[in-house]
Amino acid sequence: MRTRPHPPPTSLAPLIIATLLLSASSALFGADAAWMLGPFTRPAKVNPIIKPDKKLVFACPMNDGKQVQWAALHTFNPAAVIGPDGRICVLYRAEDASGKMVIGGHTSRIGLAESDDGLHFVSRPAPVLFPADDSQKINEWSGGCEDPRIVVTEDGTYVMTYYEHYRDSERGNGGRLAIATSKDLLTWEKHGPAFEKLGGDFARKRTKSGAMLTRLLNGRLVAAKLNGKYWMYWGEGDIRLASSDDLINWNPGPIVLQKRPGKFDSSLVEGGPPAVLTERGIVVIYNGRNANPAKNGDPSLKDGVYSGGQALFDAKDPTKLLQRTDTPFYKPQEPYERTGQYGSGTTFLEGLVYRDGQWFLYYGCADSFVAVAVAPAEKP
């Protein structure tokens, strides 16, 4: 059975559509259903692929040009994409050592690391997206720029979603899902919060974790239109859908995926890497957090563990859930995934790349490191 992504749904065979429509929308599967991407394995002697590095410094524009060790404390939660030169590029969240020594208490910036093989990376010395004296200063200081996801359009424009994290004495601690675009992954134009123009109440609420819909075109994942719109699965707690005409201004839509008692996603569900349009439907990889097993959590996982699930949505209707994994297909098991500033254990999935017949899945480990898992694009 294949999981090879497919051109837009107008080319799907009628038999495949009929099969999808006959599937029960609440059907539950183990971590090996035929429509899923994977199975993913950890390459030997590679992970973690990105670690904190005090040698990485830059002149911070929010600190009068003072030299800052911007990746000194933690490096995690990566986006991934094929770069302009064909290399695999990972854009990762890095925390300096400022602020309180608690999760979210530091300033985050987004760094860029590049690789020829998708396994061994070299980071650029300065971050590529960071708080500065610009239009988004009020939204990004002093928490920073966090948790990116990224897609590329057919014309070669890179579109990033990320979390603008403000922290100050007047407003406290908060943030919103934002959009930035680039042609080279080095210089970025910030467009501000994704729902600021079309979002109504969501223009002011806390929003995050935006995973846009993609499809395979000429051997790489690109942003995909469906029914004349771009789509994004987003949110923390519940996962919602949003639509856009331009990938910059987004109109929030309904809840399409929720937490489930007794499962690995019993505490919350959160958007993962870009969704993929395949010959069976839209595959959404997402992150689930376990609740306390003594209450309504999965008894096989610790309280607070983040692991990965997959969900299948209809290829013609991105709101229609067809199938969903009952158990995590990827979860913390290695020491670097269970030790760090998030001790419960985290495999937080955010980056997905297709290259040379393989899937590369990039994820954050315990809010401290970046790691990779690899799978053939077609199941054995």
Would you place residue 13 in the very low, low, confident or very high pLDDT band (cuts 50, 70, 90)?
Answer: very low
Q: Give domain status of residue 1, yes or no.
A: no
Name which residue leads in pLDDT, 17 or 100.
100
Name which residue leads in pLDDT, 32 or 196.
196
Q: Is residue 53 over pLDDT 80?
A: yes
Percent of the chain at pLDDT exceeding 70: 92
Q: Is residue 29 over pLDDT 90?
A: no
Q: Give domain status of residue 140, yes or no.
A: yes
Q: Is residue 31 over pLDDT 60?
A: no
Average pLDDT over residues 59-83: 98
**Mean pLDDT across the chain:** 92
pLDDT at 201: 93
Number of structural domains found in the chain: 1
Note the Cα 156 to chain centre separation in Å.
Answer: 20
Q: Give domain status of residue 102, yes or no.
A: yes
Type of residue numbered 242:
A
Q: Give domain status of residue 74, yes or no.
A: yes
Q: Give domain status of residue 66, yes or no.
A: yes
Q: Is residue 9 over pLDDT 60?
A: no
Average pLDDT over residues 329-358: 96
Burial of 302 (0-12, 13-18, 19+ CB in 10 A): middle
Percent of the chain at pLDDT exceeding 90: 87
Q: Give domain status of residue 105, yes or no.
A: yes
Beta bridge partners of 230: 225, 244
Would you place residue 22 in the very low, low, confident or very high pLDDT band (cuts 50, 70, 90)?
Answer: very low
Most distant CA pair in the chain, distance: 63
Q: Nearest to residue 234, comparing CAs of 166, 156, 144, 318? A: 318
Would you place residue 107 in the very low, low, confident or very high pLDDT band (cuts 50, 70, 90)?
Answer: very high
Condensed to tens digits (0 to 9), the pLDDT of residues 264-313 reads 999 999 999 999 999 999 999 999 999 999 999 999 999 999 999 999 99
pLDDT at 171: 86
Q: Is residue 90 over pLDDT 90?
A: yes
Q: Is residue 161 over pLDDT 50?
A: yes
pLDDT at 30: 57
DSSP state of 203: G
Q: Give domain status of residue 46, yes or no.
A: yes
Q: Give domain status of residue 3, yes or no.
A: no
302 conformational bin, left if phi > 0, alpha if psi -120 to 50, beta if neither? beta
Residue 194 domain boundaries: 9-376
CB contact set of 182 (below 8 Å; sequence gap of 6+): 157, 158, 160, 188, 189
Q: Is residue 28 over pLDDT 90?
A: no
Q: Where residue 149 sits, what CATH number does that domain have?
A: 2.115.10.20
SS3 141: coil
pLDDT at 11: 40
